[in-house]
Homo-oligomer: A and B are copies of this chain.
Amino acid sequence: MANSQFAMAVHVLTMLADNCDERVKSSYLAKSVNTNAVVIRRLLSDLHDAGLVVSRTGYSGGTCLTKDPEDINLLEIYRAVSHGEVFSLHRQKPDKDCPVGKNIESVLCNLQKEIDSAIGERLGRYTLRDIISMVRRGEEVFA
């Protein structure tokens, strides 16, 4: 199944950035993302582990960013929620008796790293502040 955690994470963090002054509830985020509040809380748990948000339980609980939106870049978000790589290596180990099978994995593994770093470089260019600006510009454009 397609993994939409990064999309949801950016969405959620943008909402939090847009409500820096208050604790935002998972049910509120869930409504905007159009999913279940538990799904949001699981996502927030990962973002918390990455040090991006902090939550409070109980009455008037909710979640806030730990930093200013301009200090959170998309690479951090990507790293916080994405397990795995751009493309996967072989599911079953190739045949070591074949000259190609024997070495193809390490070649692909290096390639994987190179692609990942290219993605990281690109994602690192944008902060949550940029996303907010783009979202707001979109609002004007399509209003």
Contact = CB atoms under 8 A, between A and B. Distances in A.
Interface stretch (A29-37, A47-55, A58-66): A29-37
A6 B87 contact: yes
A38 interface: no
A128 to B, nearest CB: 12
Chain A contact-residue range equals 35 or more
Given A32-B101, A33-B101, A119-B119, A107 B135 contact: yes
Interface of A is mostly: helix
B135 A3 contact: no
A117 to B, nearest CB: 9
Contacts of A131: 107
A103 B4 contact: no
A27 to B, nearest CB: 12
A28 to B, nearest CB: 9
Interface of A: 2-4, 6-8, 10-11, 14-15, 18, 31-35, 74, 78, 82, 84, 86-95, 98-104, 106-108, 110-111, 114-115, 118-119, 121-123, 126, 131, 134-136, 138-139, 142
